[in-house]
Structure formats: C-alpha cells, structure tokens
Amino acid sequence: MGKSIAEKTLILGIDTSCDDTSVSVVENGSRVISNVVSSQDQIHKKYGGIVPELASRKHIEMILPVTEEAMKEAGVNFNDIAAISVSYGPGLIGSLLVGVCFAKSLSFVHNVPMVPVNHLEGHICSIFLEAMPEFPFVALVVSGGHTSLYIVKGYGSYHEIGRTRDDAAGEAYDKVAKLLGYGYPGGPVIDELSLSGNKDAIVFPRADLNGSFDFSFSGLKTSVLNYTKKNPGTAKEDIAASFQEAVVDVLVRKAVSAAESNNIRRIVLSGGVSANSALRGTIQHRSRERGIDVFLPSLHYCTDNAAMIAAAGYHHYLNGDFADISLNPKACLPLGSADG
C-alpha cells in the first residue's frame, strides 16, 4: 500500500521524544535526504535539565515549521512519502504526545500509513544511515535517559543483556556538570573541560555489579559531589576528566566483555553520550586490541534526530507494522526481550 518513486521508498521520520523537535526524509532506510533538528538547549540551559512542560510547548510551536523545512529541503510532497514513522516512546509523555498526534493527523489527512518506532531502536538504527554492520552485533545505547547493552541479531531483533539500575550515563554527565556550575546539556561541557584536565587526578568509583552487564552511575555522581564539597580548590577540569574516565572505563569494559562473552566481533555505539570524544577514542582503542570492529555514528546522528527514526521505521514498513489512529505514546517502553 506504500507509495514510492522508482523503487525508492521515502519515509518521513518524526522525533519529539525529549527536547529536540526533529523531522527527516530518508530513502530506503539509509540515505538521508533531509534531517532538520530544532534544539531547545537554550530554553533548558538555565535550569540545568529539561523542564517537561516547556519542552512540550516548544514542540507544538516547532513541529509544523520543522516538517515544512524537512519536506522542502528534500524537495518532496506527501504523494512521495511511503510512510510516516514516529517515536512513540520511551520519553517525556507531553513531548511524545505532540509528535504522535501530529503523525496521526498527517497519516489521516494524506492517507499515508503510520509506523510506530521505539526511540531506542531508532538510536541503534542510526548506524544504518552511514554503515551496514553485519549481524549479530552488540549495541551500547548511551543517552540522557538510557544506558543499555543489547545483542542485535537482525532488524527488529533486540535482546537486552544489561541496563542501568539507576541513572543513565548522560544523566550523570548532566548532573555533574550542574554541580560544577554549568548548564544543560552537561555532556558536551564535561567532554570539553576534560580535554585540559588530568583523568588520573582523582580515582572515582566504578560499579562492577558482580561482573553483570548492568550499570550504576548514582554512586559515582554522589562521590563527585562529596569530593567537590571536601576539596573546593580542585580544578574543575581535573574533576571533569576523572569523572569521565570512570564513566568511559565502565562503559567500554562492559561493552567489550559483552561482545567477547557472546563471541561477537562487532560493537555499535549510539545515543547522545556516544558523541563523547573519550568514549569514542577508548572503545576504538580497546576493541582494536581484541580484534573487534567498532561502528560509531557521526556526531549529529548520536544525539536525537528523526533520520534514525525513519531508518528504523523503514524495516517496520517493509514488514507492514502499521499503527492506526488509536496509537498512544508511552513514557516507558522497553525494547525487545530482556535477561532476568
């Protein structure tokens, strides 16, 4: 029932799961024709985190102009679009509602099928916009809301083998940046500060959790807080670099160990924190030593974007996984199966 231009299937992706309004047109799940992202960083910066009510209001204001821009940039109209792919969870419920309601309206008015996509699946599929790693691979999703390890056996086949038991890695970055006196998002600030800091200045705790593939970052965050209170004169650069070293060390160790213990030779990184320079450098270095290939999305596909939602949506479109007008967003939405 989809429409196509000369075997080219165009999917319109929509993501409003958190604080970015994004719309994209992607061909055959991999070639990005347009990808427009309207960031709300300036709005939330002064609060040290996302204010959900402000986020939803801004999505309402931006969703139409961002969509028009994405369509115009791609030089297409709705007759060319095979399906509308929308993030329906997990995320901030008010933010998700804007994208889902908008997608439903477009689907109804233009008679184009709608494909619901899990935002986390979108992050994993961001790699398909630039590379085609062979299955199976280990996927580490590290964002502001999630930190999970998956074994990906094929499109739509996700098995979660570990997840954070408390804070997400990005959340820890944001909170540590806030306590050092910086605004939201904290990840890029800590990344930048760390470049001129000593990562061995302070040894912050790493949660091993008895060798499981789960993560925990709340103890680390508290440890940074206590350290800064007790040692007010310490250079922020050294605190940032030492904190980052602790986060990166655990993320890389567990991702590599997940690959090795499952006899998998490929690791895919995704999510906002995968834009981190130390994480990218360390995982490449440690994986190369072990003969594991690492796949890293470009920086603009690490953070939230709708191209990744269109990439994931393409495979659901091929399977005919459509939703009707009764689709509702879900703040909590697990991806695939899980251990335990």
| Closest CB to ligand KG4 among residues 38, 276 | 276
Site for Zn ion in 127-166 (CB under 5 A): 143
Contacts of 114 (CB under 8 A, 6+ apart): 83, 84, 85, 86, 103, 104, 106, 107, 322, 323, 324, 327
Q: How far is the CB of 333 from ligand KG4 (least distance, A)?
A: 12
Does 245 interact with Zn ion (rule: CB under 5 A)? no
| Closest CB to ligand KG4 among residues 13, 185 | 185
Site for Zn ion in 6-65 (CB under 5 A): none
Sites of contact with ligand KG4 (CB under 6 A): 18, 143-145, 170, 173-174, 185-188, 191, 271-273, 275-276, 303-304
Q: How far is the CB of 297 from ligand KG4 (least distance, A)?
A: 11
DSSP string computed for 9-58? PEEEEEE-SSSEEEEEEEETTTEEEEEEEEE-HHHHGGGTS--HHHHHHH
Region of 82-90, 129-137, 226-234, 300-308 interacting with Zn ion (CB under 5 A): 300-308
Q: How far is the CB of 296 from ligand KG4 (least distance, A)?
A: 12
Q: How far is the CB of 303 from ligand KG4 (least distance, A)?
A: 4
Q: Any bridge partners for residue 20, and if so which?
A: 39
Q: How far is the CB of 310 from Zn ion (least distance, A)?
A: 15
Does 214 interact with Zn ion (rule: CB under 5 A)? no
Distance CA 11, CA 14 (A): 10
Q: How far is the CB of 179 from ligand KG4 (least distance, A)?
A: 14
Does 304 interact with Zn ion (rule: CB under 5 A)? yes
| Closest CB to Zn ion among residues 78, 295 | 295
DSSP string computed for 107-151? HHHHT--EEEEEHHHHHHHGGGGT--PPSSEEEEEE-SS-EEEEE
Distance CA 75, CA 225 (A): 51
| Closest CB to ligand KG4 among residues 80, 304 | 304
State the first-to-last Cα distance of the chain, in angstroms, to the nearest integer: 40
For residue 311, give the H/E element and its range.
Answer: helix 307-319
